[in-house]
Amino acid sequence: HGVKRIRQTVQDREAKRQREQSKIKDYLSLTNVILSRKKNKDWSEDAFNLTTRILQLNPEFYTTWNYRRNIFAYINFTSSHQGILKILSEDLSMTMTALKAHPKVYWIWNHRRWCLENIPDVPESDTDDNAWKKEAWDRELFVVEKMLDSDPRNFHAWDYRRYILANMPIPRPPATELAYTSRKIESNFSNFSAWHQRSKVLSSLWESGDLDESNNIWCAEFELIRNAMYTDPNDQSVWMYHRWLVGSSKSCLLVIAHHLIASVRECHCRLSSDNINVFNIGCMESIVCYKRMLIKDHATDVDLAMLTRECNNMLQQLQELDPLRRRRYEDLVSTLLK
């Protein structure tokens, strides 16, 4: 798109084909050499350099990554601590260059993990080496943040970020990560990965007992999600996080459910009043979801007949408004009647 098409002569096309054929031939030849050396258990420095060459051409050749690590383990890791740190540092630099061109290749991220996990433990007296280990993990967090600045939805980078945070020698306060996800969400409410990361952090805090389900926490989270609803009500990530937040505490559901339903209904009505033909499916689905949760978890505390009737009516409307998922809504209606 937007690239001017240049008309090529027959000679130009043939020259281009010849160049591509030559590159393919060289690549296949190099591949055969590497596979042969791997089969013969060649752990030499020359074999190591060959792996560097082919990975620069094709970083998705995972067999070569495995071969490269075998060479490390067999020869290089018999050297001194400083020697090992130098080798790992060089490989982290090499993979960083590869990530800039191929940010979503699993094997590059996996190799960086392997490098970090093989930073040697050294005696406490060797403060320089221990400092290098801490600096390496801190640097990885900086690297992944730069990757997410470039592509905030790169789920490889988000997954790697969770790995880094879970394994850093000196853990970072969870509040820091909540602040980070807040910045990412506020810059783009449609960043599903940031919402997911936030749910992971909050779940971890609740499970560890470091955070109780106080009204302040609930109010802050619901205010954040409320702003997202009105900013981009058609974005599914907003509604998915909203449902997770409600479903994460069944004990609070009865207290907040009616307030939530009223809030979501207000959003739905405002959208409808702006344009008579606009019906936000996410709003309607969420109302049905919360009412079904009340029916399931608080049957003795609510008017079952009324809630069932209201859910059925909304599901009937959704069948018409969202025909692509008609069967799903029909299935939900059938479960209500059981």
All structural domains of the chain, each given as residue ranges with its CATH number in brackets, are: 212-337 (1.25.40.120)
SS (H, E, C) the chain: CCCCCCCCCHHHHHHHHHHHHHHHHHHHHHHHHHHHHHHCCCCCHHHHHHHHHHHHHCCCCHHHHHHHHHHHHHCHHHCCHHHHHHHHHHHHHHHHHHHHHCCCCHHHHHHHHHHHHCCCCCCCCCHHHHHHHHHHHHHHHHHHHHHHHHCCCCHHHHHHHHHHHHHCCCCCCHHHHHHHHHHHHHHCCCCHHHHHHHHHHHHHHHHHCCCCCCHHHHHHHHHHHHHHHHHCCCCHHHHHHHHHHHHCCHHHHHHHHHHHHHHHHHHHHHHHHHCCCCCCHHHHHHHHHHHHHHHHHCHHHCCHHHHHHHHHHHHHHHHHHCHHHHHHHHHHHHHHCC
Place of tokens 């009647």: 337
pLDDT at position 275, please? Answer: 47
Helix axes 155-167, 127-150, angle to 10 degrees: 160
Query: Is the separation of the CB atoms in 265 and 279 below 8 Å?
Result: no
Tell the residue number behind the tokens 């049905």, with chain if given: 288
Cβ proximity of 106 and 156 under 8 Å: yes
In angstroms, the CA 161 to CA 144 distance is: 6
Q: What is the mean pLDDT of each run of 10 residues along the chain (338 residues)?
A: 68 81 91 95 92 94 94 72 82 91 93 89 58 84 92 92 92 90 90 92 80 65 79 79 73 55 59 49 80 77 83 89 89 81
> What pLDDT score does 278 carry?
43
State residue 279 phi and psi, 5-degree precision. Answer: -130, 120
pTM for this prediction: 0.76
10 Å CB burial of residue 174 (0-12, 13-18, 19+) is middle
20 and 68 in contact (C-beta within 8 Å)? Answer: no
Which pLDDT value is given to residue 277? Answer: 39
What's residue 135's pLDDT? 85
Neighbours of 292 (CB within 10 A): 17
